[in-house]
Every structure is written in C-alpha cells, then in structure tokens.
Structure 1
Amino acid sequence: MKSSIPVAITIRSFNLSGPAFKKLEENCTLSFINKTGERLSETDLMKALANVQGVIAGTEIFSRRVIDQCNSLKVISRVGVGIDSIDLGAAQEKGIRIVTTPDSPVQSVAEHTLALALCVLKNIPRYNEQMRKKNHAVTAGTLLSEKTVGIAGMGRIGTRVAELFECLGCHIFFYDPMVTRQTPSAWKRVDSIEDLVECSDIVSIHATPQADGSPLIDANVLSHANGITLINTARGTLIDEQSLISALSSGKVKAAALDVFPSEPYSGGLLSFPQVIATPHVASNTVESRLQMEMESVNNLIKSLKDAGL
C-alpha cells in the first residue's frame, strides 16, 4: 500500500520512467520533482524541501540555512558518494540521516578515469577537432604501458582504477594514510602526496575532501611535479585552481583531465589550455551505473524512513 510520506526529488536528473522512480512512487507521495535539468539554487531547494520527510538528492548545496528550515526532513538519500555539499553539523543537530550509494558508481568512474588518461596520451580530442576542420596534422602519442600511475585515495574507486591501469602494464604507486588493509604486493605505498607527485607520470585523484576544506593538491605539492598528467574525477575542491593554472603554464603539469571543478558548471581559466580535457561531472553517468545508483538511493530512502518509524 502506498505511503503518504511526502518526499522530494531535488537531483537535477532522475529517470522518471525507470524502475527506481516507479518504486518510489509506489512507496511514497512525491511532493516535488526537479525537472529543470539544473542544480537547484538555495532558495529553490528550500521551497522544494518544505514539509517533506525524505529527499533524493544530488550535488545541490544543503547549507545550514537550507537545513535549518527543514522541520520535517528525516532522510537525505544521495544519488552518489560525496556528502561535502551537505552541512553535516546542521544535519546532525536536526537528527537528519544521510545515506549514499558507494558501490554503484565505482566501475563507471574508474572507466572514465582510464578514458581520460587515454585521451590525453593519444591526443584523441585534438585529432577529433582537427579532422572536422580538415586539418590532418599528426602529433605522436604516448604509450600508457610502463607508465607510473600514482593514485591519491585508495578507496573503492581508487582501487578499481589501480586494477585497470595495472592490467595495461602500468606501475602503481599510491598515497592514502587511512588505508590499513592489505594491498597487492606490486603496488608501492608512499608516505606523502608530494612523494606521489614526484615519482609519477600520471596522478589520479580519488580522495575524499580534506577535513578543513583545503586542497590536497596545492602550489607546494605541484612544485614536486615533473611534467605529470593530472586527472581528477573526485572533487573539484581537491585541487587549487590557480596553482594548477600556474603549473600548466610552467610545464610542471604537462596535461590535466578534469571531470570536477571548484564551481560547477565551470567556465574558468583552465578551459583556455588546450592540454586540459574537461568533462562536466559525468564520470558516474553511465546508463548502467545510473540505474543502479537511482535504485540504491530509493531503497536507502525507503529503508531509512522505515527505520525512523515512518
């Protein structure tokens, strides 16, 4: 029997004809659905959350101001992994439970990371653009095999990325002070992010945001680089934008491939560099992963609401 529990879908894209939406409709009363295709502003988010008890959320900003006016909200169910867009302190004070979908995006993000690396090394975006302009100039690419790949953050996604690169003949180094589990003996652990940058040809970021909000990759870290390719499919705030711009200008960073940015949608200075490949925060957005994430987020929401006695 359908519940009268009011919920909202505030994420900018959700398959309204898919099985996850159908299950949500069968179990809850939908008070709001974001059909704009855009990330909701703070004001619009507050309106959407008025009187709801659960929400299917994306990367919209759940600030203290937003959460403070949510007198009915019990559960925020993220379609995705990151929770840095949510004021955790405010949510805790309100007794709001936060749930995520940590497993669903792993393969998709790992494949996107590998694709970005290959695009950089093989000059694929440049050739695609040149040929459409009848320019058939050739620039030699580079082998991925035998490259040293440094992984910053050896969680689910970082581990899968390491496995994929290793399959193609790469040497794996990693930095993650939180990892205590056993890792493959061929993977080499380093003691600092500076050491990782210094010894790698490619550095791929899969870390969680710093506790104090500071960037993991700043000017000091990049001063240790020797013409690296830098990939970020984690969080835009993990790289200091101006430091990366300076490193690209100096050649410390030979190329960058970025799916995430400090502010999104992004239109900043990094896009002026031809050696920067940019995608609009879509690493997890495959048909298969999206279906899995949406269903997992709906299941999480329904279970959490039941656990809350609703």
Structure 2
Amino acid sequence: MPYKVLVTPRSFGRHSNEPYEILNQFGVEVKVNPYGKILTEEQMIEEIKDVDGIIVGVDPLNKKVLQHAENLKVISKYGVGIDNIDMEYAKEKNIEVVRAMNANADAVADYTLALMMAVARNVVQIDKECRELNWQKITTVDVHKKTLGLIGLGNIGKKVVQRAKGFEMDILAYDLVPDEEYAEKSGIQYVNKLEEIFEKADFITLHLPLNEHTEHIVGREQLERMKSTAVLVNTARGGLIDEQALSDALQERLIWGAGIDVFESEPPQNKELLELDNIVIGSHCAASTVQAIDNMGIISSQNLVDLFKQSDK
C-alpha cells in the first residue's frame, strides 16, 4: 500500500513540478487541499482521517484535529513556524514533525526591509496621492544610519541584519539565546532588557515564534516606550502584537507607523487597522516569492519522503 499524503498549502508546486515529482517517485498517493483556502478544524478532521503524512501550512493541527489522524506518521511543515501544531500531542502519538528550514528566510528578510522602507517613506500614501493627481511633497523619515532593533536573532533576523548593513544602520538585538560570536563579527549589540529595544530603536522588527511567553510581547506599554518617529514591523507571527493596542497607538500617533504581514486572525478582526494611513498591511505573504515557494515545496516533500524511508527500515 502506498503512503497517502495530504498537501494543504495552496501554493505547493505552483511554479515547479519538482515537489510533486519527489513524492511521485516514492510512490506517494497525494491528496490536495480541496477547499482552495486554509482549512478549518472541521475540514482538517475530515481530510486527515486516513492519511499517513501531511505537508501543512498554517492549517490547524491541534489535539482536537490530531486525535482523528489514526494513521498519521509524519507532519512536514511547509515553512518553519510550528505554532499551529500541537507538538506535545504529536510526540505523545509518535508523529514525527519536520520543518523546511531556511527555505523562505531570504524572502521574509527581503519583505521585512520592504515594509520598513514603505512605512518610513510613506510609499503607499504617496502612491495614492499621486494617483489622485496630488503632487504635493510628503515629508517622511530616514532609514540610513538609523538604529534597528531586532527582537529575535535567528536565521531570518540575521538575514535582516545583512540587509540593514547596506543602510549603515546601528544594530541592537534581544534574544534569549545570544549568538555572541555572530554579534561580535557583525557589529551587533545585544541588550539585556527588552525595554532597551523599544526605547532606543528607530525601527523594530519581530522574528519570534508565537507561544505563551511571546504572545502580545508588544502591547500598550511597549508602544508608549517607542519614539514618535519609530516604525514597528512584524513578518513573524500574528499574536506577537496586541492589535488593539497597536490600533490605538497608530491613531494617537504614538509611533510613526507599522508594517504588519501577520495578524491573530486573517483578515484582521480589528477593522480600524484597515482604515489607517500609517500602517502597511500584508496578507501573510512575506514568504510568497517564486523561489521561496519552490524551496518550501521541494524541502517539505524531501523531508516527508526521508522520514517515510526511515520508518520503513
């Protein structure tokens, strides 16, 4: 009997057939997401019942869902974030979980810089005014030689640093597990207290997983510490920012603006955010480039096959 695999990401194999070829060469029977959208819990429960493996994006794989996956042996994450997967229950059920490490890091880092620039220089607002034939100059804020504060300095954070160096930015970072060797080599200053990032940085970017320790790590108190000309960027996970606090801060002009690609629910429930001119909004698309999509598909397929091969031994 061939392994049966559910593939939920809608972009899987969109630009290259190689991810499917990897699965087909191993004789995998592929079941593709039939809904054309992120699956709900109920849809996942129905689709996951008889599969041996799953290549999953941000669809829910909590305990409620996994309890119905009687044959599931492997979860291959299409990306790196695993906050949608109940890791403890997966371990309890001996379900292997593997991530597509580094597949989309460059794409996310690029988009982080794109949001920084778009917010700082009011690119979206200027474009809108020009389309209405308003050629009045709009004054914005600089990026060059400003201070960037990174909350989380993992693989994506380090790639953001590489790009920020081109703008001759001073770099501050906060991470629970500091990479001192990298910091010294790259001219990065680690701070001991998270408050220092909010108080000193002109740009703050988030590169953290979402868990009980990081949920709403940016709230009203942190936003009030920021400079009035500061920009906040989140390309990591919705839930890291208290969205009501952010909405209030933007309306009150406590900070210059925000670039947000991820929300607690997507589209965001707080519709006020959609009406503000000092926020640039993304549709969780930081990793959506041709190269990153190809990489995620190839790596997640190969990871799945490799784990099946190990279980066959």
TM-score bucket (shorter structure): over 0.9
Q: Which of 8, 11, 14 is residue 9 of structure 2 equivalent to?
A: 11
In 2, Cα distance between equivalents of 1:36 and 1:215: 31
In 2, Cα distance between equivalents of 1:237 and 1:112: 19
What pairs up with 1:241-260 in 2 under 5 angstroms?
Answer: 241-260=243-262
Query: 1:158 is paired with a residue of what secondary structure?
Result: helix
In 2, Cα distance between equivalents of 1:198 and 1:233: 21
* Percent of residue pairs bearing the same amino acid type: 30
Q: Is residue 12–residue 35 contact of structure 1 (8 Å, CA) maintained in 2?
A: no
Q: Is residue 8–residue 55 contact of structure 1 (8 Å, CA) maintained in 2?
A: yes
Q: Is residue 12–residue 19 contact of structure 2 (8 Å, CA) maintained in 1?
A: no
Residue 31 of structure 1 deviates from its aligned partner by 4.6
Once the two structures are superposed, residues 194-217 of structure 1 have per-residue CA deviations (whole angstroms, 9 ceiling, x without a partner) of 110100011000122234463211
The answer for the alignment partner of 1:289 in structure 2 is: 292
Q: Which of 216, 235, 238 is residue 236 of structure 1 equivalent to?
A: 238
The answer for the alignment partner of 1:203 in structure 2 is: 204
In 2, Cα distance between equivalents of 1:153 and 1:180: 11
The answer for the alignment partner of 1:47 in structure 2 is: 46
**2:291 maps to amino acid:** E
Q: Is residue 229–residue 254 contact of structure 1 (8 Å, CA) maintained in 2?
A: yes
**1:290 maps to amino acid:** I
Residue 296 of structure 1 deviates from its aligned partner by 0.3
Residue 130 of structure 1 deviates from its aligned partner by 2.0
Query: 1:120 is paired with a residue of what secondary structure?
Result: helix
Greater Cα shift, 9-18 or 104-113: 9-18
Query: 1:59 is paired with a residue of what secondary structure?
Result: coil
Once the two structures are superposed, residues 81-122 of structure 1 have per-residue CA deviations (whole angstroms, 9 ceiling, x without a partner) of 100001112211111111111211111000001111111122
Unpaired stretches in structure 1, ≥5 consecutive residues = none
In 2, Cα distance between equivalents of 1:105 and 1:225: 29
Query: 1:236 is paired with a residue of what secondary structure?
Result: coil
Sort the Cα spacing of 1:277 and 1:88 in 2 relative to 1 into closer, same or farther, 3 A: same
In 1, Cα distance between equivalents of 2:301 and 2:92: 24
In 2, Cα distance between equivalents of 1:133 and 1:251: 25
**1:301 maps to amino acid:** L
Q: Greater RCO between the two (CA within 8 Å, min separation 6)?
A: 2
Once the two structures are superposed, residues 224-256 of structure 1 have per-residue CA deviations (whole angstroms, 9 ceiling, x without a partner) of 112220000000111111111222233222200
Once the two structures are superposed, residues 11-54 of structure 1 have per-residue CA deviations (whole angstroms, 9 ceiling, x without a partner) of 23312552111221222333520143310111111121121111
In 1, Cα distance between equivalents of 2:260 and 2:288: 15
Greater Cα shift, 182-191 or 100-109: 182-191
Q: Is residue 12–residue 36 contact of structure 1 (8 Å, CA) maintained in 2?
A: no
Q: Is residue 12–residue 37 contact of structure 1 (8 Å, CA) maintained in 2?
A: yes
Query: Normalization by structure 1: what TM-score?
Result: 0.94
Query: 2:181 is paired with a residue of what secondary structure?
Result: coil
- Count of aligned pairs between the two proteins: 308
Query: 1:32 is paired with a residue of what secondary structure?
Result: strand
In 2, Cα distance between equivalents of 1:178 and 1:215: 20
In 2, Cα distance between equivalents of 1:191 and 1:181: 13
The answer for the alignment partner of 1:146 in structure 2 is: 145
Q: Is residue 178–residue 190 contact of structure 2 (8 Å, CA) maintained in 1?
A: no
**2:49 maps to amino acid:** A
In 2, Cα distance between equivalents of 1:270 and 1:242: 9
Residue 267 of structure 1 deviates from its aligned partner by 4.9
Q: Is residue 7–residue 28 contact of structure 1 (8 Å, CA) maintained in 2?
A: no
The answer for the alignment partner of 2:25 in structure 1 is: 26
CA RMSD of superposed structures (Å): 1.7
Residue 180 of structure 1 deviates from its aligned partner by 3.8
Q: Is residue 198–residue 226 contact of structure 2 (8 Å, CA) maintained in 1?
A: yes
The answer for the alignment partner of 2:118 in structure 1 is: 119
Q: Is residue 119–residue 280 contact of structure 2 (8 Å, CA) maintained in 1?
A: yes
In 2, Cα distance between equivalents of 1:191 and 1:210: 21
In 1, Cα distance between equivalents of 2:174 and 2:29: 43
